[in-house]
Structure 1
Amino acid sequence: MRPIMLRTLLLASAASVLIAGAAVAADMPTYPVETAEVAPSDWAGFYAGVHIGFGFSDYDFISLEGGEGGSYGGLDLDDEDGIIGGGQVGYNMQFGRFLLGVEGDIAGTGIEANDLDDEDGFSIETRINFIATARGRLGFTFDNLLVYGTGGAAFVSFEADYPPFADDDIAFGWAAGGGVEWRFMENVSAKIEYLRIEADAEDLALEPDTDVDIKLDTIKVGLNYHF
């Protein structure tokens, strides 16, 4: 066989093998390539839930000028703590791993205190009936975990009995704190949260008329359902 014919035969054979290989490769199934990166959980949207916890209170009584009787300066109210429980609603916006939201909550309380005024022998009793807050939240998400700070307005229903006098007020102030929330199911999360609350009950009609500075520390656990 001549060299030219042999070379042509070899080239033709090689071309046939390449064409056949390409055809087999084209018929093979393809599979998507999985990436290692996991998208952060979606915390955006409305949510609502319930909470329970404990509140620790402290009061400063300030008698107004012109009043008569004791100044309340010696009062040392006992049993200044109690259980709190209620509910919350809120809305979150998420920007990557950053979260911006608003939340409102309200809780009834079992916080009561009492003391005896040694000057006239009368006892005084105080109660916090409910606490409500309206706050902003700023947080950072780690997939199913949210760490956040929070702050805003606070409203405290406060009443005092100083027989034969009694009065109550919705004290206005501020609340600030932070918490951690864990999304343990697709639509359900659990949280633990601390809040410092300070509010003023003004011009209570006791004897003498009195302002009360209310200080509260609350810690609570709760559950949220995300819609």
Structure 2
Amino acid sequence: MLRTLLLTSVAPVLMAGAALAADMPAYPVEAAQVAPVSDWTGFYAGVHIGYGFSDYDFSSLETGDGDFDYDGLSLEDEDGIIGGGQVGYNMQFGSFVLGVEGDIAATGIEANDLDVEDGFDMDTRINFIATARGRLGFTFDNLLVYGTGGASFVSFDANYSGDADEDIAFGWAAGGGVEWRFMENVSAKVEYLRIEADAEDLALVPDTDVDIKLDTIKVGLNYHF
């Protein structure tokens, strides 16, 4: 008697629950969201700021009495802040990134050598540095490690005991860096470059040949289009 009463009471509840479950819509189970892997292909542009360290070699000076090497001319190496911008283009092939980049930076790097005893004074100032380089790197998703190399252009002024000239020295640039894509369209980078450039026959009295050596380290931001 009691068993019959319980079955009679529970059966309608179970049947109603089964009907309600059958009427409920089925929702698909979504897969876990995975952060997209960065695609480095495309144009970019940005800005940078850093520091430069200079060194100079004056290989020869000419005078009316003939040619001679002036080994005693030794500028005090000077360093200073550099800052400018860059533009470039990347193409990604699997985990490899191949690209080109051009940059230009203004500087305040100056150097001087004053020889009171011999009566001469040499002053130099680097006005801007520009490079045109290729880049080859390996990407770990949002991180790019790369090497770079190409041509360099260094604009500078020189003053030798009152005779002044301005010229652009041509040479090479090489180095490497790390770039991190921390937003979909924005990346940050740290880059080192070694720059060596030559300028021949500066219009000073006496005429001068000069080799300029620069080490630069900079940080920058790029926007990827």
Misfit runs of 4+, over 6 Å:
none
Q: Distance in 2 between matches of 1:183 and 1:102?
A: 18
**Which deviations, in whole Å up to 9, do the C-alpha atoms of 1:83-130 show, x marking residues without a partner?**
100000000001111100000000000100011135532211101000
DSSP-derived class of the 1:200 partner: strand
**Which deviations, in whole Å up to 9, do the C-alpha atoms of 1:42-68 show, x marking residues without a partner?**
111010000000000100002245555
Q: Which residue of 2 aligns with 1:45?
A: 42
Residue 109 of structure 2 aligns with an amino acid whose one-letter code is I
Over the residues paired in the alignment, what is the CA RMSD in angstroms? 2.2
**Which deviations, in whole Å up to 9, do the C-alpha atoms of 1:130-185 show, x marking residues without a partner?**
00000000001111111000000000002111122111211000000000011111
Q: Which residue of 1 aligns with 2:210?
A: 212
Q: Which residue of 1 aligns with 2:115?
A: 117
Q: Per the alignment, do residues 100 and 67 of structure 1 end up closer, same or farther by CA in structure 2, a change over 3 Å counting? A: farther
DSSP-derived class of the 1:184 partner: coil
Q: Which runs of 5+ in 1 are unaligned?
A: 1-23
Q: Share of identical aligned residues, percent?
A: 80
Q: Distance in 2 between matches of 1:163 and 1:210?
A: 13
**Partners of 2:55 and 2:77 within 8 A in 1:** no
Q: Distance in 1 between matches of 2:42 and 2:158?
A: 41
Aligned length: 201
Q: Which residue of 1 aligns with 2:193?
A: 195
Q: Which residue of 2 aligns with 1:15?
A: none
Residue 153 of structure 1 aligns with an amino acid whose one-letter code is A
DSSP-derived class of the 1:207 partner: coil
Q: Which residue of 2 aligns with 1:56?
A: 53
**Partners of 2:62 and 2:208 within 8 A in 1:** no
Q: Distance in 1 between matches of 2:209 and 2:74?
A: 16
Q: Distance in 2 between matches of 1:71 and 1:207?
A: 14
Q: Per the alignment, do residues 140 and 152 of structure 1 end up closer, same or farther by CA in structure 2, a change over 3 Å counting? A: same
| TM-score scaled by length of structure 1 | 0.81
Q: How does 1:144-159 map to 2 (within 5 A)?
A: 144-159=142-157
Q: How big is the shift at 1:71?
A: 4.7
| TM-score scaled by length of structure 2 | 0.82
Q: How big is the shift at 1:78?
A: 2.1
Q: Distance in 1 between matches of 2:182 and 2:134?
A: 23
DSSP-derived class of the 1:138 partner: strand
Q: Which residue of 2 aligns with 1:181?
A: 179
Q: Which runs of 5+ in 2 are unaligned?
A: 1-21
